[in-house]
C-alpha cells in the first residue's frame, strides 16, 4: 500500500506513484496487535488510558472491575482553620484533608472529606459516625502522647479495636491502626509531612489491596547516595529526596530541610531514602534503598543543598 503523500494525480483516471514501497507496507494485518486467545490483562491490573483503548479496540464495551474504595478523611484539632477563613493566633490551615484526599484519588479511591473535628468528644464522635458510610477511615492529628486519649476513647466507645499505636520510624512515629465495625481505621499524625509519608507506607498499600490491585507497593530501587547522612540510631528514617537516572545509574540526593512540618520538602521530593533504624551514618557513594514516589518532582531538576532545620546531612558535607 502506497501512502497518498507519495503519489500525484495525473488525471481523473491515473495516479503517478513517486516512490516504490516494499510488499506489505502500511498494511495492518489481523492479529498483529493481539492474537486470538491471547490474554490482554490479568486480574488486579489498573486500567489507564491505554488499557481503555485496548478494551475498546477488541470490542469489549463492559468488563468486571472492583469498586473504588470510599475513604473518610477527618482532621482533628482546635488549631485548624478551613481555607478561606481568617487565621487566628496559634492556628494553621487544614492542609492534611486536602493532601489525603489527593493521595486517595491517586490510589484510585474516592475521598469523603468530613471536615475538622474539634477537641470535643461529642463533635469527634458525630463526625466519626459519618465516616462509617465509607470503607476506610483516616484521621489526622490527635495521636501523640496525651492528645491520643480523646481519639482513642471516642473510637473505643464506637467499638474500635486498636491493633497498634506508634511505629519506630521518622517521620510518622505517632501512628495508630485499628478496626471499627469491620472497617480499617488509620490514625495518622498531625504534622503534614508525617501524614503524607504514613499514608504512603501504610494506607496506600491497604487501599490498593482493598481494591484488588496486584501491585501494592511503590517501586524500590538501589541508588548511589551523593552525600553523607547522619541520624540517631533509634528509628528508621524516610528521608525526602530527589532520585535521578542517568547513564545507566540511579543517584539520590536528599532535599533541604527534613522537618515534619515542612511541606515544601514533599513538593521537591520524588522519592524517600530508607535509612535503616539501627544505623547512624551513611557514607557518600554508598548504595541505599530508595522508594520512588513519582517520576519527577515539581522542583527537582536542581535540588537545593540539603541544609536547614531538620537536615540529616553530615556537617562536613555542608
Give the model's pLDDT for residue 142.
Answer: 82
Per-residue pLDDT of the chain (318 residues; tens, 9 = 90+): 888 888 888 888 888 888 888 888 888 888 888 888 889 888 888 888 999 999 999 999 999 999 999 999 999 999 999 999 999 999 999 999 999 999 999 999 999 999 999 988 899 999 999 999 999 999 998 877 766 678 888 888 899 899 998 999 999 999 899 999 999 999 999 999 999 999 999 999 999 999 999 889 999 999 999 999 999 998 999 999 999 999 999 999 999 889 999 999 999 999 999 999 999 999 999 999 999 997 555 554 444 444 444 556 544 443
pLDDT of residue 296: 56
239: Cβ contacts below 8 Å, ≥ 6 apart: 229, 254, 258, 272, 273, 275, 312
CA–CA distance, 255 with 273 (Å, rounded to integer):
11
Q: What is the pLDDT of residue 304?
A: 47
Looking at residue 297, its pLDDT comes to 59
Domains along the chain with CATH numbers: 70-210 (3.40.980.10), 220-317 (2.40.340.10)
Cα atoms in the 13 Å half-sphere on the side-chain side of 78: 7
Of 121, 123, 178, 122, the residue nearest 151 (C-alpha): 121
3-state helix, strand, coil in the chain (%, to 5): 25, 30, 50
Closest CA to 167 of 144, 147, 151: 144
> Residue 288 contacts by C-beta under 8 Å, 6 or more apart in sequence?
222, 223, 224, 225, 252, 273, 274, 275, 282
pLDDT at 165: 87
Give the number of residues written for the chain: 318
Distance of alpha carbon 36 from the chain centroid: 37
CA angle at residue 116 from 111 to 121, to 5 degrees? 120
φ, ψ of residue 69 to 5 degrees: the values are -75, 135
* Angle (deg, nearest 10), helices 148-157 and 121-131: 50
In sequence order, which ranges of the chain are alpha helices (DSSP H)? 49-57, 95-106, 121-131, 148-157, 192-198, 204-210, 263-268
Kindly compute the dihedral angle of the four CA atoms of residues 142, 147, 153, 158, in this order, to the nearest 10 degrees.
-10
Amino acid at each position: 500500500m502506497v501512502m497518498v503523500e507519495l503519489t500525484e494525480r495525473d488525471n481523473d483516471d491515473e495516479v503517478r506513484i513517486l516512490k516504490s514501497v516494499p510488499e506489505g507496507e502500511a498494511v495492518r494485518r489481523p492479529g498483529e496487535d493481539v492474537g486470538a486467545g491471547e490474554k490482554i490483562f490479568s486480574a488486579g491490573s489498573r486500567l489507564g488510558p491505554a488499557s481503555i483503548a485496548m478494551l475498546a479496540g477488541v470490542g469489549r464495551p463492559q468488563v468486571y472491575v472492583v469498586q473504588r474504595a470510599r475513604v473518610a478523611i477527618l482532621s482533628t484539632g482546635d488549631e485548624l482553620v478551613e481555607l478561606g477563613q481568617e487565621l487566628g493566633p496559634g492556628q494553621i490551615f487544614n492542609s492534611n484533608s486536602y493532601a489525603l484526599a489527593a493521595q486517595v484519588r491517586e490510589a484510585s479511591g474516592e475521598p469523603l472529606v468530613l471536615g475538622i473535628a474539634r477537641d470535643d468528644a461529642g463533635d469527634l464522635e458525630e463526625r466519626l459516625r459519618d465516616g462509617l458510610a465509607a470503607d476506610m477511615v483516616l484521621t489526622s492529628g490527635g495521636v501523640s502522647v496525651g492528645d491520643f486519649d480523646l481519639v482513642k476513647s471516642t473510637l473505643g466507645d464506637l467499638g474500635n479495636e486498636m491493633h497498634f499505636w506508634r511505629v519506630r520510624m521518622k517521620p510518622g512515629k505517632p501512628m495508630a491502626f485499628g478496626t471499627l465495625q469491620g472497617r480499617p481505621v488509620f490514625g495518622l499524625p498531625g504534622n503534614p509531612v508525617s501524614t503524607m509519608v504514613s499514608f504512603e507506607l501504610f494506607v496506600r498499600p491497604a487501599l490498593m489491596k482493598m481494591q484488588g490491585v496486584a501491585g501494592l507497593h511503590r517501586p524500590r530501587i538501589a541508588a548511589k547516595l551523593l552525600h553523607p547522612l547522619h541520624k540517631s540510631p533509634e528509628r528508621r528514617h524516610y528521608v525526602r529526596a530527589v532520585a535521578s537516572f542517568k547513564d545507566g545509574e540511579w543517584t539520590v540526593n536528599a532535599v533541604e530541610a527534613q522537618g515534619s512540618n515542612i511541606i515544601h520538602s514533599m513538593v521537591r521530593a520524588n522519592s524517600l531514602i530508607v535509612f535503616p533504624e539501627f544505623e547512624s551514618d551513611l557514607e557518600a557513594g554508598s548504595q541505599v534503598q530508595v522508594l520512588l514516589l513519582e517520576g519527577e518532582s515539581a522542583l527537582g531538576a536542581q535540588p537545593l543543598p540539603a541544609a536547614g532545620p531538620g537536615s540529616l546531612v553530615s556537617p562536613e558535607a555542608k
